[in-house]
Amino acid sequence: MPEFVRVADIQEIPPGTSRVLHIRGREIALFNADGMFCAVKNTCPHRGTSLDRGAVEDGIVTCPGHGWQFDLRTGDSVDHPPAGIRCYRVEIRQGWAWVEVP
């Protein structure tokens, strides 16, 4: 059953940055997209590049490997449907980011 796990103090993840999390055998990238916190599987489906190093603009992360783009809110591919990435729910509670994982 999915449950929320406390993962990071949001003050330590400034806007435009990310942090790699290892939760229950999963590598997850937590992004601060201008105050909107989003968590996704940290792997591009194209070539397996880590997405945490990608540039983020308007809630879209660009893979640093080959430029594929994904909407951090939905996981949908912007330019290569039907490819997509796994999203995880994020809640902010008392200054901490919590990520829901199975």
Reported as a single tens digit per residue, the pLDDT across 24-64 is 999 999 999 999 999 999 999 999 999 999 999 999 999 99
| Alpha-carbon gap, residue 84 to 102, rounded angstroms | 19
Number of domains forming the structure of the chain: 1
Residue 10 phi/psi, 5° resolution? -65, -20
Under DSSP, the state recorded for 92 is E
Q: Can you give the pLDDT at residue 94?
A: 98
- Supply the range of the domain harboring residue 97: 3-101
| Alpha-carbon gap, residue 66 to 58, rounded angstroms | 19
* Residue 83: CATH number of its domain: 2.102.10.10
Task: Using CB atoms within 10 Å of the CB of residue 75, give its burial: 0 to 12 exposed, 13 to 18 middle, 19+ buried.
Answer: middle
What letter represents residue 77's amino acid? S
- Rounded to two decimals, the pTM is 0.94
